[in-house]
Structure 1
Amino acid sequence: MSGSVTITHGGAIAVDPEALRSVSRGLLAIVPTLIEASSAARTAYGHVLNMPGVRPRVNMDALWATADRAEAMSQQCQMAAENTLLMADVYELVELKAELAALEIREGAEAEAIMARIAELERSDPRVPDMEAWLLKGWDEGRYEGLLEQQTGLPFLDASLLFLLASRIGSSRMGALRPGATLSGDAAPVTVTPVNTSSPIAPPTSLAEAFRRFPETKEAQFKVEKYTMVDGEERFVLYAEGTSALMGGNPLDMKSNVELYFGNESASHQASLDVLAAAGAKPGDRVDVYAHSQGAINAAYLATQSEFDVRVQVTAGSPVHPALEENQLLIELRHTDDLVSALAGGGGPGGTGSPDSFVASRIGDPAYHPHDLLMKTHYLDTYIETAEMVDASGDVRLDAIRENWRELNQAVSIESTEYVTSR
């Protein structure tokens, strides 16, 4: 493995603002207790000082030092709480400005409420807008780290212009999907053929394992796991591959890539819907999605426009960054030197989805070699390495996806089917 992984709630936001405010409240709650403890120790010191028979048996210096330590800790907790609250305001400001930018119409009650809150935060402390600018600058400088520096190592071929173009497109925010984004037009019809059925004994137990569950049958692009729960509910997990053809009958080709990126229906999106239907998924059913590359664009639109209840979306190397609801968990794996991920602008500066949503990023391939031209940093295998690093990180936001796996582990049966789709 190479590089180290950075985990944030959004591009520039380390932690969900409300989580920070909860920490701040917890720190403030400790302060009165510490002040009381310091006062009690000083009171005890005074009593012992006036008791000649007891004083020789008490370490008076230690008793006074205890009072000093408790007082110092109360001051430290107070300062930490105030700084944590300040950081929460800064993160919220970043998040609100990103949310405002995502709105198609900056008029009406929603936009006015956001702008009013932005103004309130900026007035609350002169440091808030300055720190917001500092955070965004750091994110902006780091979101393409390693991308523009990549060289193919071949003297007659310089790919830097290609990398520069990808970062420019990403910076235009074309890959940032607005809330409730939908595709336009009609998709080409597709055929769906089940090619392999099995019965897994359990759901995934890690992100790396989930990405290793992608279809293994030759030419299969999708896998659907159907979980029948104790109460009879049926839940589904879709594993969707990325681009697997330049053109032709395979729906996951460059034609679909271009259509999806520019907001148009595609054969690959239709294939995503059709394989779920073939597996028995009905409108309103819970669907989790694990997707790579082009499959991740389809995952985004499954979450924003389909009739399925998509609560979990885990993507690797996605060319887009969706704006999701607070009850939707979004986990994005991104390599800052991935040409395809760059089309999403490196993700977004603000958080989206549930408070447990996060973006895990790193330089996928720091060394510069001729294989850079083959976009090794975009390979699923490279992202599996990143998933392993996230699994081992100990980040508490992994608890949400692990709880989801524990729920699925209560299923009375699991049926897995791989599908080949064609135009």
Structure 2
Amino acid sequence: MSGIDIDHGGVISVDPDVLRSVARRMDAVASCFDDAQDAIARAYRVIVDASGFSAYVDTVSLWSSGVRVSRLQSECQETTASTRLMADVYEYVELRAEAEMLARTDPATAHRLTLQADRLAARDDRIPDMARQLEAQWEIDRFEGLFPAPFLPAVYGPVFAAAAAAGAFSGFGKVTPGETLTGKSDPVTVAPVKTSTPASAPGGLAAALKRMPTSDGAQIAVEKYTYPDGSTRFVAFIKGTQSVGFGGAEPWDMKSNVELYQGQRSASYQATIEALKAAGAGPGDLVDVVAHSQAGMVTAHLSMESEFDVQVQVTAGSPVEPTLDDDQTIVQLRHTDDPVPALSGGGSAEGTGSPDSFTVSRQADPGASIGDIVLGQHLLDSYTETAGMADASGDPRVENLDRYWEELDRAVTIERTEFHAERVLEQPGDAAADAATGAPPDAAISRERASAAGAG
């Protein structure tokens, strides 16, 4: 089991403004060292100039202490300068990446950001080269351990390489501003299969992933949190792919995977919308999401284009990364040896979401093992283990998320509903009857829904 890395995502591991704040504090410390060195030098002069005084003071040690303080002052100044340079490099990368992302949708802003980056580079000609080195290292690290060992079946290497290439070069791995799902989804039916009243909210990332629906056939669980003042908040827990089929009754299948990745409305997305509405969520309501695999694509579009207000999302092994606003928080769990998040291209160089957003990454299954064949590094249990490591890390970003779990736990009631969804499959006989009578194509669907309602 490998250790975890926790950062903001992308090349930028620390906010440039935070680095500059650290540099200012270090500069203040350097000034204190400078004052101390001057004080020691003055004291030394007073002692050696006073007749007989040096017999009572170890002037050699006093002089040596002044030298050590002077060295510390120099080291502190060097570290301050390096920290400021690193902040400029991070900001340069951030500005260039954001400009590239906005080049098509907002060329004026993209041009302004490019000019800002150029002004930074003009201050120190080391900045562009250091930025390129950072980006090159990030591009290597984001797929660490992805490519299987030689003893595994030969098909794995090309498949995993194709996943990485698709994410890095196709453009599908990043949901850009203004991008919405196109087309109509296959029709679906959604029905509750279990209700319960949990005693408390999840207490951390691992606990949240363990709240996925457990009822047979359920793909979505929606929890409604009601607070003392009557306000409500919803949290959806959405499973990943449930079938390797294509277009059958199961909405969470490969057809939905392909549709969502290519920006088309899928049955799984539509089923999620309908489950949220069935649970009582309406336009403008706070709806947060915990999602695994395919559900990460559903969540990306829920947060960017739906009628719900998605403020917090936790994704594990998502094939895409959304472009979120500064007031939306995303926690991304990624395994660098998992080919599914590789479809996101390892995320974007600039990261996404609020300053509280962070990415937890690790190589889940180092070395070669049978787990590489069954993609154990993509399973929910593996990501739950990573979430537990993050919970225990003591990282301040993870601890900041505790405020969110505590906010959920202030609810006076929690109503949980698990839903099962299915595609509505047209029956051949119904299709023939519709064609003969001139009925519209969705007549069979209407009949099936009417039949289901009568049976209920």
Q: State the TM-score, normalizing by the size of structure 1.
A: 0.92
SS of the aligned residue for 1:309 comes to: coil
Measure how far apart 1:376 and its partner are: 1.4
Q: Which residue of 1 aligns with 2:38?
A: 39
| In 1, Cα distance between equivalents of 2:81 and 2:195 | 56
| Kept in 2: contact 1:211–1:290 (CA 8 A) | yes
Establish whether residue 169 from structure 1 lines up as the match of residue 162 from structure 2.
Answer: no
| In 2, Cα distance between equivalents of 1:265 and 1:20 | 41
Q: Which residue of 2 aligns with 1:299?
A: 299
The answer for unaligned runs of 5 or more in structure 1 is: none
Establish whether residue 346 from structure 1 lines up as the match of residue 343 from structure 2.
Answer: no
Give the AA of the match of 1:353.
Answer: G
| Kept in 1: contact 2:220–2:238 (CA 8 A) | yes
SS of the aligned residue for 1:408 comes to: helix
More displaced stretch, 250-259 vs 69-78: 69-78
Establish whether residue 237 from structure 1 lines up as the match of residue 223 from structure 2.
Answer: no
| In 1, Cα distance between equivalents of 2:56 and 2:311 | 64
Q: Which residue of 2 aligns with 1:22?
A: 21
Q: 1:152 to 1:276 in 2, by over 3 A?
A: farther
The answer for unaligned runs of 5 or more in structure 2 is: 424-456
Q: 1:410 to 1:67 in 2, by over 3 A?
A: farther
Aligned residues: 420
1:234-273 to 2 correspondence within 5 Å? 234-245=232-243, 246=245, 247-273=247-273
Q: 1:51 to 1:389 in 2, by over 3 A?
A: same
| In 2, Cα distance between equivalents of 1:145 and 1:303 | 29
Measure how far apart 1:363 and its partner are: 1.8
| In 2, Cα distance between equivalents of 1:399 and 1:320 | 25
Measure how far apart 1:316 and its partner are: 0.8
Q: 1:108 to 1:141 in 2, by over 3 A?
A: closer
| In 1, Cα distance between equivalents of 2:333 and 2:44 | 57
Q: Which residue of 2 aligns with 1:410?
A: 410
Give the AA of the match of 2:335.
Answer: H
Counterpart of 2:204 (choices 189, 203, 206) is: 206
Q: 1:147 to 1:53 in 2, by over 3 A?
A: same
Q: Which residue of 2 aligns with 1:9?
A: 8
Q: After superposition, what is the alpha-carbon deviation per residue over 1:189-220, rounded to whole angstroms, capped at 9, x for unaligned? A: 32222222222222222211111111111111
Q: 1:98 to 1:232 in 2, by over 3 A?
A: same
Measure how far apart 1:269 and its partner are: 1.0
Establish whether residue 318 from structure 1 lines up as the match of residue 315 from structure 2.
Answer: no
Q: Which residue of 1 aligns with 2:443?
A: none
| Kept in 2: contact 1:95–1:350 (CA 8 A) | yes
| Kept in 1: contact 2:293–2:340 (CA 8 A) | yes
Q: Which residue of 1 aligns with 2:442?
A: none
| Kept in 2: contact 1:275–1:419 (CA 8 A) | yes
Q: 1:77 to 1:100 in 2, by over 3 A?
A: same
Q: Which residue of 1 aligns with 2:125?
A: 126
1:263-412 to 2 correspondence within 5 Å? 263-412=263-412
SS of the aligned residue for 2:339 comes to: coil
| Kept in 2: contact 1:180–1:323 (CA 8 A) | no
Measure how far apart 1:406 and its partner are: 1.8
Q: After superposition, what is the alpha-carbon deviation per residue over 1:317-353, rounded to whole angstroms, capped at 9, x for unaligned? A: 1110111111111211111221211111121222211
SS of the aligned residue for 2:406 comes to: helix
| Structure possessing the higher radius of gyration over alpha carbons | 2
| In 1, Cα distance between equivalents of 2:303 and 2:61 | 61
Give the AA of the match of 2:120.
Answer: L
SS of the aligned residue for 2:343 comes to: helix
| Kept in 1: contact 2:96–2:117 (CA 8 A) | yes
Measure how far apart 1:274 and its partner are: 1.7
Establish whether residue 217 from structure 1 lines up as the match of residue 215 from structure 2.
Answer: yes
| In 2, Cα distance between equivalents of 1:100 and 1:150 | 38
Q: Which structure has more RCO (C-alpha within 8 Å, separation ≥ 6)? A: 1
| Kept in 2: contact 1:151–1:159 (CA 8 A) | no
| Kept in 2: contact 1:152–1:158 (CA 8 A) | no
| In 2, Cα distance between equivalents of 1:201 and 1:171 | 43
Give the AA of the match of 2:401.
Answer: I
